[in-house]
Amino acid sequence: MPAPFILSPSLLSADFSRLADELADLEGAGLGWVHLDVMDGLFVPNITFGPPIIAALRRRSKLYFDTHLMIERPERYLAAFREAGSDLICVHAEATVHLERVVSEIRRLGAAPGVALNPATPLSHVEYLLPQLDLVLVMTVNPGFGGQSFIPFCLDKIKDLATMRRERDLSFRIQVDGGVSPDNTAALVAAGADVLVSGSAFFGHPPYKERLDVFQAAAATSPT
Ligand code: DX5
Ligand code: ZN
């Protein structure tokens, strides 16, 4: 039996003119999570959407809102994203000076705290915080755009993080984001990933129920 994993489709690759319908289609296909990529044009070059769009979608969806904040100084907007309906709020370690304070504040607001690391950021940046986290997001591309290629050295980082989790008997989830597809799903799950984010390799291949089946079948094969 392969390890179970959660597929969190990245809305960045969905049809932005019909977002609520896209969420309904995800729910109908049996997905439980959706990954919401928030970009500010500063931390990353791109700009996407913010709390008003998330609040509007919250009124139409029961999916678990997995919110990935690619914004500078995320402490300015934590309450707004929580009020909008984010279930999990993941901030970048590189985007704030007082990371522990930010993580504690996310928890105080009632959301699950996550920390994301860019490919070049070492695991040591979150090492001491791990007991306080519900999730660590290992970026496998430099964030900002969908459709980029997976950076191979990140696989070792996922394995090292999984080793750290096992040795310290911790239970945070390991999430992977960027260039994830059925081709690397088996290797990622075998390395210790629990939550796979997929944008272009998911939304580009409807119907979504069948695409979810393809990812699940891929996880059951031997890693290449
Ligand atoms: C990248 C975003 C990702 C992106 C992934 O900056 O954080 O969530 O949508 O897209 P794919 O799966 O196409 O690499
Ligand atoms: Zn993301």
pLDDT tens readout for residues 89-126: 999 999 999 999 999 999 999 999 999 999 999 999 99
Q: What is the CA radius of gyration of the chain?
A: 16
Residue 41 confidence (pLDDT) above 70: yes
**Residue 211: its pLDDT value, please?**
98
Spatial distance between the Cα atoms of 149 and 180, rounded to a whole number of angstroms:
8
- Asked if 2 and 37 touch (Cβ cutoff 8 Å), the reply is no
Catalytically active residues, by annotation: 37, 177
Tokens 């999916």 belong to which residue? Answer: 63
Query: Do you know the residue count of the chain?
Result: 224
Residue ranges with strand state E in 73-165: 88-92, 112-117, 135-139
Tokens, residue 171: 């239970």
Residue 4 confidence (pLDDT) above 90: no
**Mean pLDDT, to the nearest integer, of 5-15?**
98
Q: Name the residue at shortest CA distance from atom 7 of ligand 1.
A: 143
- The Å distance, Cα 68 to ligand 2 centre, comes to 5
The CA dihedral of 139, 145, 66, 198, to the nearest 10 degrees, is: -80
- The Å distance, Cα 37 to ligand 2 centre, comes to 5
The verdict on pTM exceeding 0.95 is yes
**Mean pLDDT, to the nearest integer, of 67-86?**
98
**Mean pLDDT, to the nearest integer, of 19-37?**
98
- The Å distance, Cα 177 to ligand 2 centre, comes to 6
Task: From 38, 177, 180, give the residue whose CB has the most ligand 1 atoms within 8 Å, as the site to mutate.
Answer: 177
Could you tell me which of 47, 57, 129, 61 has the C-alpha nearest to residue 90? 129
Tokens, residue 195: 């939550």
> At what angle are helices 208-219 and 182-191 packed, to 10 degrees?
50
**Residue 180: its pLDDT value, please?**
98
* pLDDT category of residue 3 using cuts at 50, 70 and 90: low
Tokens 């044009």 belong to which residue? Answer: 41
**Residue 2: its pLDDT value, please?**
55
